[in-house]
């Protein structure tokens, strides 16, 4: 099995071959975890995202289309989407939990420095602003800044011309600057 190409293994995965899926997992799980960890910032959350992503891949192996990119690109795209969904769920959950019936005073306060508090508030502002961007712009920005991918890698993953990717990132960053105001030092 380990001698087969990813595309051949995916054909076996479509047929329910668990051994082929295991090889796919072994080949791509470390890259998947690395992406999830960069996006989530916590080991446990990243592990959950990778587990969700590979479970979805096992269930939907028939969706892989070799004409649209490599297996690694497909795996990382699924991980990326799962991480974004987890981040969005976390933001909504935290805001609902903190606002329910004024119970925010009952939460156990973790000791943080002023700098840590400022960074967390800034990160929340950026995530909120990102959610207001058009999907194409936010996805390109997230891949570049949270995923650490180059413009050419993003173009390959999204099957979009590199100029379009750069334009989406530029336009999205301009919108973020306008929305964030006091955080005018958004990376370019």
For 113-168, the pLDDT digits (tens) are 666 666 677 777 777 888 888 888 888 888 887 777 788 888 887 888 999 999 99
Higher pLDDT, residue 79 or 60: 79
Global pTM reads 0.51
Rounded to 5°, angle at Cα 174 from 183 and 87: 65
Rounded to 5°, angle at Cα 69 from 57 and 173: 95
Q: Taking the CA of residue 64 as centre, how many other CA atoms within 13 Å lie in the half-sphere pointing to its CB?
A: 30
Higher pLDDT, residue 104 or 16: 16
**What structural domains and CATH numbers belong to the chain?**
1-100 (1.10.1740.10), 112-181 (1.10.10.10)
User: Residues 17-59: pLDDT tens digits?
Assistant: 999 999 999 999 999 999 999 888 889 999 999 999 999 888 8
Residue 99 is predicted with a pLDDT of 47
Cβ-Cβ contacts under 8 Å for 175 (sequence gap 6 or more): 129, 132, 133, 137
Q: How many CB atoms lie within 10 A of CB 84?
A: 19
């Amino acid at each position: 099995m380990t001698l087969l190409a990813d595309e051949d293994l995916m054909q076996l995965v479509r047929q329910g071959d668990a051994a082929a899926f295991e090889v796919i997992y072994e080949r791509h799980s470390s890259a998947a975890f690395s992406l999830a960890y960069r996006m989530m910032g916590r080991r446990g959350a990243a592990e959950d995202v990778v587990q969700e992503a590979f479970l979805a891949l096992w269930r939907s192996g028939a969706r892989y289309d070799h004409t649209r990119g490599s297996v690694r690109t497909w795996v990382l795209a699924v991980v990326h989407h799962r991480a974004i969904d987890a981040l969005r769920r976390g933001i909504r959950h935290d805001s609902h939990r903190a606002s329910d019936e004024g119970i925010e005073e009952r939460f156990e306060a973790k000791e943080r420095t002023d700098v840590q508090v400022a960074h967390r508030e800034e990160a929340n502002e950026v995530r909120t602003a990102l959610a207001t961007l058009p999907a194409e712009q936010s996805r390109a920005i997230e891949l570049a800044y949270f995923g650490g991918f180059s413009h050419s890698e993003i173009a390959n993953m999204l099957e979009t011309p590199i100029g379009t990717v750069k334009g989406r990132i530029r336009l999205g960053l301009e919108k973020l600057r306008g929305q964030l105001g006091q955080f005018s030092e958004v990376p370019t």
